[in-house]
Amino acid sequence: MNNNFTPEESLSVIHRAINQTHQNIKEDSIHFLIWGWATLIASIAHYILLTIVHYQHPYIAWTLMPIAGVIAGIVGFKAAKKVKVKTHIDRILGYLWGGFGVYLLILLVFMPVISFDKTYPLIIGLYGLGTFIMGGIIQFRSLIIGAIICWAIAALSFTLNFPNQLLCIAGAIVVAYLIPGYLLRFSNK
């Protein structure tokens, strides 16, 4: 096999790989929407159950997240079967979000040790980190702006009580996941 490409052929290969990555990412934006809506609903439900209803176990609202995980897994499995080409950037993003998930799990497991009022700001900062890196990799400004706002919300949430941190999570997820997720889904990039 001849691996000697002309400059034009090399550029064509690179251009096709970039276009394939953008298409894969656009289709994967559904994950931002699944996790964004699940987190938004769970955080607001937790806030309402805690502050308005005064339910004894308001954290029950977060049981929505494993359901979202199953849905995201099914969607991801079906999408992976359709992908014809997995680019280097696709693999990098897979490691990014895999690492994100592992670290999030560590934070959640050690939440009682860290304390609830410190864990949620750290999680909000983690949302910002993931979206900032992805936004930089795929050069999608909405993710970067959402991440920066997310970090500001994380810093603010360290100064707030736990119930108000739940509202911070809701706000952070809107700017870091939902708005960029919809913009990415419907972009021509």
Is pTM beyond 0.75? Reply is yes
User: What pLDDT score does 18 carry?
Assistant: 66
pLDDT of residue 3: 65
Helix-, strand-, coil-residue percentages of the chain, each rounded to 5: 85, 0, 15
Q: Which two tokens stand for residue 113?
A: 């040790």
Query: What is the predicted pLDDT for the residue at 59?
Result: 95
The pLDDT assigned to 126 comes to: 95
**Are the C-beta atoms of residues 165 and 51 closer than 8 Å to each other?**
no
Sign of CA dihedral 135, 102, 74, 34: negative
Q: Give the pLDDT of residue 109.
A: 92
Cα 142 to Cα 65, 130, 136, 139, 155, distances in angstroms: 25, 13, 10, 9, 20
* Burial class of 35 by CB neighbour count within 10 A (0 to 12, 13 to 18, 19+): buried
Whether the CA torsion 77, 186, 124, 141 is positive or negative: it is positive
Smallest Cα–Cα separation from 118: which of 170, 168, 69?
A: 168
- Residue 10 is predicted with a pLDDT of 73
- How buried is residue 152: exposed, middle or buried, by Cβ count under 10 Å (0-12/13-18/19+)? middle
| CA-angle at 75, arms to 71 and 79, nearest 5° | 170
Low-confidence ranges of the chain (pLDDT < 70): 1-3, 17-22, 24, 83-85, 188-189
Single-letter amino acid code for the residue at 18: I
Question: Domain limits of the chain?
Answer: 17-185
Closest by alpha carbon to 126, among 67, 64, 177? 177
